[in-house]
Amino acid sequence: MASEGQLEYESVLCVKPEVNVYRIPPRASNRAVRAADWKLDAPDWTGRMRVTARGKVAYVKLEDKVSGELFAQAPVEEYPGIAVETVSDSSRYFVLRIQDDNGRSAFIGIGFGDRGDSFDFNVALQDHFKWVKQEDELSKQAQAPDSAPKLDLGFKEGQTITLNIGQSKKRDRSRPQSSGGLGFLPPPPGGKLAPPPSSRVTNLNTQQPTAGGDDTGCLLDLDSSNSNSVAPFNPTSTANNDLWGDFDSVTQK
């Protein structure tokens, strides 16, 4: 049966094409390590570095540039920690604890020629162990879901609540009032509308006298019968009387 570690796949976190390896002197005390104590101008080995992760453990692998053969590797279970340490006088150098298959370990120094490479190496390890921490918290919550305090939304003894339904305030909306009441236009001055000019011409064309004395007499009788009554002034009727008066003068001749 395969073990749990063999079932986990390996992911690549970071790859750097060139890294230098240095032998470092043994520590005389607990003081911080300084890269200036190393032989920086004469590295003991140069190759490629590949940072991988399998499960929660990260691995810093030093490999040959051409063949890819493994030179050394350092398993990292926490960062920062004893497996990878920074130096006190530079951000481009680190102390690495390497291990072989038999469990033997040794400390070596590694360094990058570019500060960007050292920054990427540092961030890759930080992001991995940040993810490990989040996974641990989620697993703890899944194993003990009832351990978290529950939110009590129930009413306490004697506690009441008041609801106001249908008592919203209505806003008074005033309608604009027009000065003309219902908005109709006022009547024209004078009280009456004058007839259009075309009506007068129509009356003249429709009322034409006919030849003969009988018709003239009838018209004269109408004038005499209406002479006693006072008729309102009408420009149209006056014009008609004048016209019939001319016909009367013609018939008397």
Q: Does position 179 have pLDDT exceeding 80, yes or no?
A: no
Q: Summarize the confidence of residues 189-193 as an average pLDDT.
A: 59
Q: What is the pLDDT of residues 91-107, one digit of tens each?
A: 999 999 999 988 899 99
pLDDT at 188: 63
pLDDT at 87: 93
Q: Does position 200 have pLDDT exceeding 90, yes or no?
A: no
Q: Summarize the confidence of residues 115-123 as an average pLDDT.
A: 95
Taking the domains of the chain in order of start, what are their residue ranges?
A: 10-143
Q: Summarize the confidence of residues 225-245 as an average pLDDT.
A: 50
Q: Does position 6 have pLDDT exceeding 90, yes or no?
A: no
pTM of the model: 0.55
pLDDT, mean over the chain: 76
pLDDT band at 138 (very low <50, low <70, confident <90, very high): confident
pLDDT at 16: 96
Q: Does position 202 have pLDDT exceeding 50, yes or no?
A: no
What CATH number does domain 10-143 carry, 2.60.40.1220, 3.30.1360.200, 3.40.50.720, 2.30.29.30?
A: 2.30.29.30
Question: What's the chain's Rg over C-alpha atoms?
Answer: 59
Fill in the DSSP letter of residue 35: G
Helix (H) or strand (E) segment spanning residue 48 = strand 45-54
46 touches 18 (CB < 8 A): yes
Q: Using alpha carbons, select from 48, 47, 20, 16 the residue that is nearest to residue 116.
A: 16
SS3 222: helix
pLDDT at 26: 84
- The first and second tokens of residue 185, run together, are 């236009």
More confidently predicted of 6 and 21: 21
Q: What is the pLDDT of residues 20-59, one digit of tens each?
A: 999 998 877 777 889 999 999 999 999 999 999 999 999 9
pLDDT at 189: 64
